[in-house]
Amino acid sequence: MHRLKTLAAIGSIVIGQAAMAQAPRPAASPPSAADDASTLSCADFNAAASQVLPGANANEVQRRRAVEAQDYLGNGMVWLHGYLTGRNGPSTGRLTRDWISTTVARLGKACAAAADPAATRIVDLVQKP
């Protein structure tokens, strides 16, 4: 824990010094389509889900991909919960492990059954009852 605090403090100092040393930057450009999570499809979900469990004999690359896929899906579920909360309000419920696992299972079934996974958006699936 001490190491994390130390790294965070060093990072803050470095960022602060870099910000003071640089000229003001122009406004950030709008996010690209790749940054728009509302465009994620079942094909994206299926690709990540297929790598989540690396297997007992996985090599280092497969284990790293599994962690990245887990992070991708986890971050996606947090984004999705925020999206639904903004759209539906408190009726979405709390962001819990149960909500995440239920939502992942529901999306997994829906995406596996999708006729055209690349054209089936995740946000459309979660809005269905």
Taking the whole predicted model, whether its pTM rises above 0.75 is answered as: no
Residue in the block written with tokens 């122009």: 26
Q: 32-44, pLDDT tens digit by residue?
A: 555 678 889 999 9
Alpha carbons within 13 angstroms on the beta-carbon side of residue 30 total: 2
Q: What angle do CA 26, 27, 28 make, to 5 degrees?
A: 115
Q: What angle do CA 39, 42, 44 make, to 5 degrees?
A: 70
Q: 48-86, pLDDT tens digit by residue?
A: 999 999 889 999 999 999 999 999 999 999 999 999 999
CB count within 10 Å of CB 116 equals 9
Sketch the domain layout of the chain as residue ranges: 36-127
Residue 33 or 109, more confident: 109
User: Among residues 106, 100, 98, which one has the least CA distance to residue 81?
Assistant: 100
Cα distance between residue 106 and residue 95, in whole Å: 16
Q: What angle do CA 20, 32, 79 make, to 5 degrees?
A: 90
CB 124 within 8 A of CB 58: no
- Which whole number is the average pLDDT over 85-92? 88
